[in-house]
Each structure stands twice: as C-alpha cells, then as structure tokens.
Amino acid sequence: MISTIYLYLSVGLIATLVVLGSHFYQTREKLFGGSNIPEWSWKNRWVNVKDRIILPFFAVAVITLLWPFVLFFLAKEILGHFKNSPVSKTQEKVFEVRQHHLIEKYNLQELECREIMEDPMQAVPEIPFGHLNSAWIAFKENIQTNDELWFFKAEESKSDLKALVREGYVIKRRGKFVDNFVTRVESIEL
C-alpha cells in the first residue's frame, strides 16, 4: 500500500516537472523581461512573487495529487491540435441558397462595377469587394460560360426572437446552385 502511494506521488512529481517545464518554457519572455511594469513598483514585486513562487507551488501540489487528470487534459489538448475530428452531428447545417432567395440577375462585368468599394479614408482598396477580393477571384474561377450570377438574400430564423440574414451572390448552372459568395451576414431581432 505504501509503495503504491510512493509510486503514485513519484509519477505525479514527474508529471509536475513536465507540465511546469512546458509552462515556463512557453512563458519565459513574460517572466524574464516581458513585463510593462517598472522594476521598482510594488505591483511588479507581487507579480514576481505570484508568478515565480505561489503559482508554481500551488501547481506542484495540485498536479502531484491529480496528475492523471492533468495528463489526460494535456494529452487531449496536444492531440486535438494534430487530428481532424469528424464533423459533429450537433453542428449547424451548411447554408444553401434556395430559388426563393434569388433577387436579381447580373452579368459579371456589371456586378464587379457595382461592388467596387469606394472608401473616402482609402482603407479599403478600390477593387471589387475590397478586402474580400481574393475570395471573390477564387469564386469567379468557378463561373463557366453559360452560368448565371444571381444576387440572393436569405433570412433564416434562429429562434423566436432572432433571425440570420445572409446576402451575396450565387452561381446558377442548368437550374442548380453550384457555389455561393456570401458578402453580408447579420443577426436581426424579430
């Protein structure tokens, strides 16, 4: 029984060293010179005491005793960055343009002229869709010769009190919607 406790605590101390080493490695600039507080202030002394003594001591105590949980969540976080999880069944369904959302048909040239951004502060480039231009160019690559470009506006109820309004453009090919380019999404109260 005693040897089991020693083994548990030994593994806990090793886990503590790994977690604290990782923490100090990631925050070394903050702890060693990244502070905006002047060196002489009392606040800086408290920050140093808290960051260098109190929090590490508390972390050692907690991790040593609860290391299986800490390692589980640490592994889950690390592995979460490397694997692509499948789409959750509870995730929102993907937005689809419907026939009744269509407002007006455009040709490509008049559409691009209509959507040139004019910003008096010149923060937005004067090109079609401004900062969204690279996404617009990628969308345009899907347009074929006999396709139609339509402006759409779709309102979707999210609850009794709110709705989501999407506006943009859609490519219609042989009666089917191929791709859409959303230019505005707004949540409105009903």
The per-residue pLDDT for 169 is 95
By mean pLDDT, which of 6-10, 23-27, 45-49, 84-88 is the weakest? 84-88
- The 10s digit of each residue's pLDDT in 93-142 is 678 999 999 999 999 999 999 999 888 888 888 999 988 999 999 999 99
Instruction: Show me where the domains of the chain are located.
Output: 2-82, 99-189
Question: What average pLDDT does the structure give for the chain?
Answer: 78
Structure tokens at 13: 């101390």
Measure the CA–CA gap between 127 and 24, rounded to whole angstroms. 47
**CB-based contact 102:170 (threshold 8 Å):** yes
89, pLDDT greater than 50: no
**CB-based contact 19:70 (threshold 8 Å):** yes
Highest mean pLDDT among 13-17, 61-65, 111-115: 111-115
The per-residue pLDDT for 95 is 82
Measure the CA–CA gap between 163 and 189, rounded to whole angstroms. 6
Q: Average pLDDT in the 32-38 region? A: 49
Q: DSSP letter string over 101-148?
A: GEEEEE-HHHHHHHTB---TT--S-SSBTGGGHHHHHHHHTT--TT-E
Task: Give the residue carrying structure tokens 């490519």.
Answer: 171
How remote is the C-alpha of 60 from its chain's centroid? 32
